[in-house]
Amino acid sequence: MERIQKRIAASGVASRRKAEDLILQRRVKVNGMVVDSLGLKVGPKDEVTVDDVIVSKLSSLYLVLNKPRGYISSVSDELGRKTIMDLIPEEFKDFGLYPVGRLDYDTKGVILLTNDGDFMNKMVGPRSGIQKEYLVRIRGIITSDAINKLQNGVMINGKMTLPSYVVLESIDRSNASSLVRITITQGMNHQVKEMFKVVGYEVKKLTRIRFGCIKIDDLGEGKIRRLTIHEVKTLIELAKKSKILSSTGM
């Protein structure tokens, strides 16, 4: 057991002195209860939050990055290309972070990072039903037949994709291209590009705009933020839900 201000200071969120101020401002909770004593002691399993963001264990960090194009989503690259680790601020560098799943080098948008292996498995494992929503700019004018096929499932490398939810956002006739929004629940390799290829379209630009409950919102390109405890818990709940999307995309 250790004093709560020591735990907060160890997590790098604030100095001990500042941690005391945070406690007095009632911004610190232990296991969901506001802390009102500077003398409180916490054990390794206690969940400490400041402003509802988990700070309790150095070993549990959950971040979301708005990945720009031109970055590999791994911790290193043998070809020396830029990786998402180049976008991680110093304060998070020693936490042993890994990306939750992958985005291609030329795909941008929402990618989570964590050092919590359990959480990772729940998000990317074969039974995870987390929805991933993409904006896809394709070459050509998409047909309703292609949209139906994408929704019902297409064959990629001998495997049928699960139902997806597809919305035609706009058609640009002068440039002969279409903007399509697709929500999928699996994470096959290059799944979105492959799905469009099967129905005869080349993906020109791909952006992931949502992972479960985490949207890009106003997170700038290349920017990172911590997930709140509420977001982490919601993601875990979502991962338990059914993988099958209904025709409304829910």
Tell me which residues are annotated as active site: 104
Read off the tokens for 93. 């560098």
At its nearest, how many Å lie between ligand URA and the CB of residue 103? 4
Q: Which positions ≥6 away from 183 have C-beta within 8 Å?
A: 131, 132, 133, 134, 164, 165, 166, 210, 245, 249
Read off the tokens for 39. 């003398």
For ligand URA, give the closer residue by CB, 150 or 206: 206
For ligand URA, give the closer residue by CB, 38 or 155: 155
Q: Distance (Å, rounded) from C-alpha 25 to C-alpha 27?
A: 5
Determine if 193 is a binding residue for ligand URA (CB under 6 A).
yes
Stretch that binds ligand URA, among 5-13, 54-62, 89-97, 185-193 (CB under 6 A): 185-193
Determine if 191 is a binding residue for ligand URA (CB under 6 A).
yes
Partners of residue 110 on adjacent β-strands: 66
Determine if 190 is a binding residue for ligand URA (CB under 6 A).
yes
CB atoms within 10 A of CB 192: 22
Q: Distance (Å, rounded) from C-alpha 183 to C-alpha 209?
A: 10
For ligand URA, give the closer residue by CB, 58 or 198: 198
Question: What residues between 107 and 166 interact with ligand URA by CB under 6 A?
Answer: 107
Q: Distance (Å, rounded) from C-alpha 15 to C-alpha 211?
A: 33
Stretch that binds ligand URA, among 7-15, 27-35, 113-121, 184-192 (CB under 6 A): 184-192
Give the total of residues touching ligand URA (CB under 6 A).
8
Q: Distance (Å, rounded) from C-alpha 249 to C-alpha 242?
A: 12
Stretch that binds ligand URA, among 47-55, 80-88, 190-198, 236-244 (CB under 6 A): 190-198
| Residue 25, burial from CB neighbour count under 10 angstroms (0-12, 13-18, 19+) | exposed
Q: Which amino acid is at 89?
A: P
From residue 112, alpha-carbon distances to 130, 208, 226 in Å are 13, 11, 10
- The correct pick among 206, 227, 229, 238 for binding ligand URA (CB under 6 A) is 206
For ligand URA, give the closer residue by CB, 28 or 150: 150
Stretch that binds ligand URA, among 5-13, 122-130, 142-150, 189-197 (CB under 6 A): 189-197
Q: Which positions ≥6 away from 72 have C-beta within 8 Å?
A: 81, 82, 83, 84, 105
CB atoms within 10 A of CB 98: 18
What does the per-residue mask of binding to ligand URA show for 94-113, with x meaning CB under 6 A?
---------xx--x------
For ligand URA, give the closer residue by CB, 192 or 235: 192
At its nearest, how many Å lie between ligand URA and the CB of residue 70? 13
Footprint on this chain of ligand URA (rule: CB under 6 A): 103-104, 107, 190-193, 206
